[in-house]
Structure 1
Amino acid sequence: MIKMLPKRGYLLLITGFFIGLLVFAGLSRIYQGSQATFVGEKPESIELVFLYTSEKDSWIKAVKPLYEKWFYKRHGIKVNLVLYVTGTHESVDLILQGSVKPHVWSPASSIWIPFFEKKWKEMHGGETIVSEWYPLVLSPVVLVGWEDLVEKYNIKGYRDLYLLDRQGIDFKYGHPDPMLSNGGVIALLMEFCAALNKTPDRLTPNDLTSKEAIEFVKTIESHAVYYGKSTGFFGSWAADNGPEAISFFTVYENVVIENYPKAKAKWGQGIVAVYPKMGVVYSDHPLVILNASWVGVWERLAAIELLNFLLKPEIQEMAVEHGFRPVNPLVSLDGEVFGPEHGVLYKVPVLALKPPSGEVMETLFEVWVLVRNPGV
C-alpha cells in the first residue's frame, strides 16, 4: 500500500530538499576534490551584509545573535551579520547606486525581484544579479483604522473612504511613499483596484490612466497627511501620534499586531485591520541571495545558511510572535497573537489576490505624481 505524505509534511519536505540543495551547492564551491581541499584559507571571521525592510526589523534583530552563534558552532567561523534597514523601493535604489553592497537582500515582496533584476541588467550589460531566493514569512497588506472610526463608519475597504469624502466627512489618511516602500505601492494599487472594481492581475496600464480612476484615487489621497519612509516606521508613527493625527492608513498586518498594544495603552483604543472585501495582496518577504562581484564563496555559504536558519521551526515561531504568518508548514499561528486583542483576525476572511504585471507596476510609479497630495 502506497502512503501519501500529508500536505504539510510534503511542503516541509520540499522546503527542506530545496535548502539542502543550496547548502550542498555552497559547500561544493568551498570544498573541491576528493581530499576536500579549501578554496583559499578558511577565514576566522566574515561579515554578511543583510539589507532588508523595516517591518521585519524586530524579528531580524532578535534572530541576529542566535544565527551568529549557530553558524560558528556549525562552521567554526565567526560571522558578523551587518544589518541595513530601509523601505523596499529605496533598497533597490541603494543596490543599483552602489551605496550598499549586500550579500543578501529581503524586499517586502517577491514582486520586486523581476523589477530589480531588469534594472540591474540594463545597467550591467545583461548580467544577472539574483541567484536564489525563497519566501521567509507572509503578511497581508491591510487598511487600518482606529477602532471607534471603523465601527462608526462601517469601513470595509477603500471605496468606503471615497464615499466618506463624497458625504463631506473629513478624515486623515496616509501610507508609506510608493517611491520608497512596497507597502506604499500596494496601498496605491488597492486604491486603483477599488476605483476600477478590478483585481490587481486584471489591471492594465490604460486602466491606471483613466480619468475616472485618477479622480477616485486623487480624492482619497487628498486626505493624506503623511507619506512615511517605510511601512514599519509608518505604523509606529501612527500609534505614537494617535487618532487626531491620522484616521486611516495602510500597512502590513504584522505592523498592526506590533503597534496595537501601544496604541491601546496611549489612546484608549486600538488600531484594527480591515481586510478589503475584494481581497488582500500578501507580502512574502523573500530572502534573495545575490550573485555579485562582492559576494565571495564564504559569504555565499553564510547567506545560504542564513536562509536555512530563518526557516527553522523555532525561528519561524519567533516570527509569529512578531506578527508574521509562517511559511514553514510545521509552525502554527498563535491565537493569542493573531486575534481581536491585537487588532487582527486569526483567519484572513478574504481572497489572496494575484500581483499585477510589471507594466502595471511601472505605470503606478508614473501616475503617483498625478494623484498624490502635493501638500504632504
Structure 2
Amino acid sequence: MVMLLSRERGKIRLFPRRGYIFLLTGILIGFLTFSIISFIFSVSMEGGGVIGVPERIEFEFLYTSEKQSWIEEVTPKFEEWFKNKFDIEVKVRLIVQGTHETINSILGGQIKPAAWSPASSIWIPYLNEKWRNLGYDWTLVEEWTPLVITPTVIGCWKSFLEQYNISGFSNLIELAKKGVEFKYGHPDPQLSNGGTTAVVLEFTAAAGKTPDQLTIEDLTNETVKEAVRILESMAVNYGKSTGFFGKWAAENGPDAIHVFAVYENVIIDNSLTAFKKWNDSLVAVYPEEGVILNDHPFAILNAPWVNVWQRFAASQYLIYLLSPSSQELAQKHGFRPANPSVPLDRNIFNETNGVSLEINVPVLKPPSGEVLEAILTVWADVKNQGLQG
C-alpha cells in the first residue's frame, strides 16, 4: 500500500487526511497536557514558591546527526526562554549519534538521556522490545511526538545526474549490472536509520515490491540479493550517521562519490557549501519506487534515571521545538515541519536548493519489525566487503 502526497487548495499535505488528523490531535493533546503542567507550576511559584524547586535543571538529549545544525541553533533559545518563563536555569546536554547507535547506547547504559529523538518512529517498538529482552518489566518509550519530517532520497551531483538520468534505485541497479562504473554510498544501516532506509529501498527495487510487502523470503532470495550486492559493490563509503555522511560527501566532492542515499534535509543543508567548493550542485532525486518519510519523534524516556524536574524541562523543550518559530527555523535546515499549522517555505524547498516543493512519488509504508531486523543481518552479506562498516 502506498500513499501519495497531494496538493489541496494550494497546500501540500504530507499525510493522508486520517494521518494528518491523528498528527494534529497528538500535537494538540501534547500541548494541552504540558500547558496545564506549566500553568500549575507557574501559579505555584507566584503563590510563594514550590518546595524543592531547583535553581538549575540539566538533562541529556540524545538525537541524530542530521538534526544537529537545527538543534544546536534552537537549543540556546529554548534555554533562555525557559529561564525567562520559570526563573530556573536549564541546560540541555546535546549528544549526537546515528539512530541505531543511540539505541545501543541506551540499552548498554553508556548514555542515560531524559529525551531521545531517533530519525524515525519505526525504531521505537524495536527499542522497547530490546529493553524488555534485558529483563525490564516496563516500556521505555510510551508516547512520542514527531518533530520534523524528511524523506530518504538519492543524492546526486548534478553532473552525474545529467549524464545518467538517475530516477531511482532500480535505475542504479541497472547501471551497475551494465558495468557502468560509479561511486555509491550510504550510511551504515547497523548504525543509522538513513542507512537502513536506503537498504530497504534497495531491496524494494530489487524485489519489485513495496517495503511493507517485503518478506524474509525476499531478503534471502538469491536473485534479489545479487541485485543488491551488485549495487553495493559500487559503495566507496559507509558513514556512521546520515548527517555526517552528507557532510562528508559535500566536503569531498564529485570525485569522491557520485551518488548516495541521504535525507532530503541533508541536501539542503549542504547544497550551498558544495556548490561554492566544487562548482557542481547537489540534487535530491525522489526515487520513482517511492520514498520513506522519517518523522524524527521526540520521546521522554520512562526510565529510573529521569527525575520529575528533568521530565518537566524536557516536556517544555518539546513544546518549544514544535512552536512555529522553531519549526520555521527547522525549515532553514531543510526539514519539513511536523506542526501542521506551519506552511512549507517555498523559498527553501525549491530547485535552487536541489529539492522539490512537492514530492510527486508514492510515500511508502515501512517494513515489518521482523523484516527490518533481518535486513541488518542480510546487509552484512551483500555489502561491499572491502569497506569498513
The match for 2:322 is 311
- Corresponding residue for 1:223? 234
Q: 1:129 is matched with which residue? A: 140
- Please state whether the residue corresponding to 2:363 is helix, strand or coil: coil
1:271–1:352: structure 2 CA closer, same or farther, 3 Å change rule? same
TM-score with structure 2 setting the length: 0.90
Does residue 210 (structure 1) correspond to residue 239 (structure 2)? The answer is no
Partner AA of 1:146 in structure 2 = W
- The offset of 1:319, in angstroms, is 0.3
Corresponding residue of 1:365: 376
> Is residue 192 of structure 1 aligned with residue 203 of structure 2?
yes
Which has the higher mean CA deviation after the structures are superposed, 267-276 or 9-18? 9-18
State whether residues 26 and 304 of structure 1, in contact with CA within 8 Å, keep that contact through their aligned partners in structure 2.
no
CA contact (8 A) 2:172 2:231 kept: yes
Match of 2:7 in 1: none
Q: Measure how far apart 1:27 and its partner are.
A: 7.6
Once residues 110 and 42 of structure 2 are traced to their aligned partners in structure 1, the CA distance between those partners, rounded to angstroms, is 28
Consecutive unaligned residues in structure 1, runs of 5 or more? 1-5
| Alignment partner of 1:173 out of 178, 181, 184 | 184
Deviation at 1:113, TM superposition (A): 0.3
**Runs of 4+ in structure 1 over 6 Å off:** 6-11, 26-32
Residue number among 19, 32, 38 corresponding to 2:31 in the alignment = 19
Contact 2:290 2:362 in 1 (8 A): yes
1:68 aligns with 2:79: yes
Q: Deviations over 1:232-268 (max 9, x none)?
A: 0000100111111101100000000011111111111
1:345 is matched with which residue?
Answer: 356
Residues 279-309 of structure 1: per-residue CA shift (max 9 Å, x gap): 1000000001101011111001011111111
Residues 331-373 of structure 1: per-residue CA shift (max 9 Å, x gap): 1122121111111001111111111100001110110111110
Query: Equivalents in 2 of 1:36, 1:133: separation in Å?
Result: 34
Q: Percent identity?
A: 49
Aligned-partner SS, 2:290: coil
Q: Is 2:249 the partner of 1:238?
A: yes
Q: Does residue 1:148 correspond to 2:129, yes or no?
A: no
SS at match of 2:96: strand
Under a length normalisation based on structure 1, what TM-score does the superposition of the two structures give? 0.93
Q: Give the CA deviation at 1:82.
A: 0.4
Check whether the contact 1:199–1:353 (CA below 8 A) recurs between aligned residues: yes
Aligned counterparts of 2:124 and 2:333: Cα–Cα separation in 1 = 24
1:64, CA displacement in angstroms?
1.0
Question: 2:25 & 2:184 partners in 1: Cα distance?
Answer: 44
Q: Deviation digits for residues 51-98 of structure 1, max 9, x if unmatched?
A: 000000000000111100111122221000100001000000000010
> 8 Å contact 2:126–2:369 — kept in the other structure?
yes
Check the 8 A contact 1:145/1:274 in 2, yes or no.
Answer: yes
Structure 1 counterpart of 2:332: 321
> Which segment drifts farther, 144-153 or 225-234?
144-153
Could you say which residue in structure 2 is the equivalent of 1:3? Answer: none
Amino acid at match of 1:20: L
Instruction: Provide the rounded CA distance (Å) in 1 between the counterparts of 2:183 and 2:343.
Output: 36
Decide which of 173, 177, 183 is 1:162's aligned counterpart.
173
Q: Does 1:262 align with 2:281?
A: no
- SS of residue matched to 1:352: strand
1: CA distance, partners of 2:251 / 2:22? 43
CA distance in 2, matches of 1:214, 1:326: 36
Q: Distance in 2 between matches of 1:242 and 1:178?
A: 23
Q: Give the equivalent residue in structure 1 for 2:63.
A: 52
CA root-mean-square deviation: 2.2
Partners of 1:286 and 1:26 in 2: CA distance: 22
How many residue pairs get aligned? The number is 368
Q: Provide closer, same or farther for how the CA distance between residues 250 and 42 of structure 1 changes in structure 2, counting only shifts above 3 A.
A: same
Aligned: 1:111 with 2:130: no
